[in-house]
Amino acid sequence: MGINYNTMKTNKRINLIFTVLLMLVLVPYSVAQEKLPKIVILATGGTIAGAGESSTGSAYTSGQVKIESMIDAVPNIRKLADLKGEQISNVGSQDMSVKIWLDLAKRINELLEGDVDGVVITHGTDTQEETAFFLNLVIKSDKPVVLTGSMRPSTALSADGPLNMYNAVAVAASPDSKGRGVMVVMNDEIHSAHAVKKMMTTPVQTFESPQHGLLGTVIFGDVTYFHYPFGIHTTKSEFSVEGVKKLPRVDIIYGCADMSPDLIPMLVKAGAKGIVVAGVGDGNMTEATLEAAKKATSKGVVVVRASRVPIGTVLLHGEVNDAEYGTVSSMDLNPQKARVLLMLALLKDRSREDIQNLFLNY
């Protein structure tokens, strides 16, 4: 059989065209693969890592599952980012501590100073708002830092952890998330660290941002933002954890009718440098407690008036004349976040006016 040179030439040309077309498809695909953002998930424990004996029972223990198994349990999560996990702690967030906060903050600053594009933190929901607010004040980067958790343990029917984790990674990987401070992602919603509050004991919709509104939503990884958060945060914040090994003692006392004035002097005696009063209504307390507060502030202990009411701003010089009693208004920060700001504020000597200014701006 003779060789048909024309057919060979045509075949060669077809091969060449096919190769070029294949390259046109494959090269951008492989570049896109290489360009997946680098996200590190720091696990601290919580219900999201919790396990129970029955998928329909309410009994379970927080902080049982390790981060690698948690990542493996989320379908398609590795398509969103080049992921790595690190175990920082494995506790229920009722046991979250200043030590873990400091370790966490230092590790996040280290990672974000390098080539990591964003950080996700898995965390129990009980104190998640406090950790988020603490990190919001001490992280020195505008790269995304996102906390998430779950209300149902990993073994539960309709566990909410996997989708929360998927959405948190999507938020951390989104270029739109830069410069929005530390965020909390749960139940398809994106909250700012300043605004978010745990409002319900066990339902999956527990987190709300009642006074400021949501920052945005994230639906199966699709991120939409509505606004930027209120308050100074991250790169603009004056607070730092560098060289810090512990924080000054600040305690919270809960206001009620006929509240005992004994609590304030007891805390001062125990060594509290600051006291947050979760007062009634607009940060109010019994006349006797106000007098005890005045005594404490005259000795240099900082007393902040917050409120046990979940929503609203404690008015500066409202029913209580703060200048007269030496007290500080927490403004719209709830008692637990007011405590976080006060602990950081007390790392250096400041006047009452300076501390009040922090509460007006952070």
Interacting residues toward ligand ASP by CB under 6 A: 46-47, 62, 92-94, 124-126, 149, 151
Of 198 and 233, which CB lies nearer to ligand ASP in the complex structure? Answer: 198
Positive or negative, the CA dihedral 116, 118, 119, 120 is negative
- Cβ neighbours of residue 69 closer than 8 Å, sequence gap 6 or more: none
CA distance 264 to 303: 9
Instruction: State the pairing for strand pair 82-91/38-45.
Output: parallel
Residue nearest to ligand ASP (CB): 124
Of 252 and 263, which CB lies nearer to ligand ASP in the complex structure? Answer: 252
- Rounded least distance, CB 74 to ligand ASP, Å: 17
- Rounded least distance, CB 127 to ligand ASP, Å: 6
Of 93 and 284, which CB lies nearer to ligand ASP in the complex structure? Answer: 93
Strand partners, 311: none
CA distance 179 to 219: 21
Of 92 and 118, which CB lies nearer to ligand ASP in the complex structure? Answer: 92
Is 47 marked active-site? yes
- Rg over CA atoms, the chain: 26
Of 252 and 268, which CB lies nearer to ligand ASP in the complex structure? Answer: 252
- Rounded least distance, CB 49 to ligand ASP, Å: 9
- Rounded least distance, CB 358 to ligand ASP, Å: 27
Of 92 and 279, which CB lies nearer to ligand ASP in the complex structure? Answer: 92
Task: Tell me the residue type at 335.
Answer: P
Of 62 and 109, which CB lies nearer to ligand ASP in the complex structure? Answer: 62
Query: Cα–chain-centroid distance for residue 107?
Result: 15
Task: Tell me the residue type at 191.
Answer: H
Tokens 């920052």 sit on residue: 215
Catalytic residue among 10, 44, 47, 217: 47
- Rounded least distance, CB 267 to ligand ASP, Å: 25
CA distance 168 to 58: 25
Instruction: Give the three-state DSSP class for 148.
Output: strand
Instruction: Give the three-state DSSP class for 203.
Output: coil
Query: Cα–chain-centroid distance for residue 54?
Result: 30
CA distance 330 to 323: 14
Q: Are the C-beta atoms of residues 324 and 297 closer than 8 Å to each other?
A: no
Q: What DSSP state is assigned to residue 284?
A: B
- Between CA 354 and CA 270, with CA 324 as vertex, the angle to 5 degrees is 70
CA distance 214 to 72: 29
Give 30-81 as a DSSP string.
Answer: HHHHHTPPEEEEEEEESGGG-B-S-SS-S--BSS-S-HHHHHHTSTTGGGTS
- Rounded least distance, CB 151 to ligand ASP, Å: 5
- Rounded least distance, CB 137 to ligand ASP, Å: 21
Catalytic residues: 47
